[in-house]
Structure 1
């Protein structure tokens, strides 16, 4: 069986992979939702969904700092990585252990392709198609909901000290656009550029400042600090999983977005 992942690497398997190590939290959740819970033998410390995985699955490190020895000991048939979450060095080193499948998600279409690929790869075609159909249905419903909403300017913060934001060519930016939020940093160089707070009004003067729940744990003091440099922007704490987790999590994200629009 020959398959090609989302960075163009071809993989040949003699049989359907039965032992999976997942190094991407959102993809761990997706694999479980596709009915592959028993096949998952290793996860990262950031794989928090489903909640019962952490005490029952082997923890092999983080997304950027993995324990190669632990992964080898698990004797995986396949390791699931992501171009953004995991480094090229990690992928190259792990490729000496077993095939490493790398996803690359920038758009909703990329996300649906990933689900389709996993359905083919793990012989879960029916389950994958069900998820694709459910996401497409609620995606269409949300497009009807949002079409009359005015476009508002937003700055989406992912880190503090240094202050970093979501830029262009990111899944976050894709979902901001879907929500009629114009990312004021979409033209700035880099996918997650570092910015100066004192220039925020000059660079776009946003209507909203979104402080993501991950990867940085923003608190009220951060909101106050950033707020000092904005003009009229409303600061909103947002669920980072809903804006950045691809896979099956997207199904829950649309309801979250509706609730967010009702509150801001």
Structure 2
């Protein structure tokens, strides 16, 4: 049986949902599934390379955006194979998960991956998309821009990102510019910044806000099976502006 260390919370969940016996290590941020009993090897941005190498993994799972290249280079220099994902769209996520699980981990294609494809394929078209800004951080304010996985999911749910044509993927935009952008909705996920009903909506008076689950918006794994239903309900349950 192969030994796998995951540096990406969503990939930890994906492997555990398919064959949890493969996982021997995961980051401190890998919270799903609950109670996962593996060696914790630090954070996504500061993994303990020596501890990972000592686990003698056959494969380390990483993400181009979530993990730092020097850490991945150090793992490779230590003789540890590293599989790096680079996900910008739903199609890329589904294809990448299939390849990672079947080729990288040597597993059979899991039923949950078929369920995720079916869940997103069954969405009805949206006649009138709602124009929205999607902050992911404050102090400074940063929003979803172009070419992001979360933006692609929101587009499929009828949300038109105002900053989708911005040259940056996660541009920093001053709050006065956000307020003047003509948004009909502010979408506030609970990660990476933990927006709440008391921390976020108050900055956008007059604009309805929707608090959404960051795991269903940004993780690519088993959460994709419920994501269309969960996100659609949360987008509809908006606070008045």
Tell me by how many angstroms 1:125 deviates.
2.5
Cα distance between partner residues in 1 of 2:121 and 2:165: 28
Q: Match for 2:221 among 238, 242, 247?
A: 247
State the secondary structure of the residue aligned to 2:83: strand
State the secondary structure of the residue aligned to 2:221: coil
Q: Match for 1:111 among 93, 97, 103?
A: 93
Q: Where do residues 1-264 of structure 1 align in structure 2 (5 Å cutoff)?
A: 18-35=2-19, 37-53=20-36, 56-97=37-78, 98-117=80-99, 118-127=101-110, 130-142=111-123, 144=124, 147-202=125-180, 204-228=181-205, 232-264=206-238
TM-score when normalising by structure 1? 0.84
Tell me by how many angstroms 1:255 deviates.
1.5
CA contact (8 A) 2:210 2:236 kept: no
CA RMSD of aligned residues (A): 1.7
Matched positions, count: 236
Cα distance between partner residues in 2 of 1:221 and 1:122: 42
State the secondary structure of the residue aligned to 2:147: coil
Tell me by how many angstroms 1:262 deviates.
4.0
1:88–1:258 Cα change, 3 Å: same
TM-score when normalising by structure 2? 0.91
Unmatched 5+ residue regions in structure 1? 1-16
State the secondary structure of the residue aligned to 2:131: strand
Unmatched 5+ residue regions in structure 2? none
Cα distance between partner residues in 1 of 2:175 and 2:236: 28
Tell me by how many angstroms 1:226 deviates.
1.7
Runs of 4+ in 1 over 4 A off after TM superposition: none
Cα distance between partner residues in 2 of 1:262 and 1:216: 21
Q: 1:102-135 CA deviation, whole Å, 9 max, x = no partner? A: 01111111111112112122221342xx333212
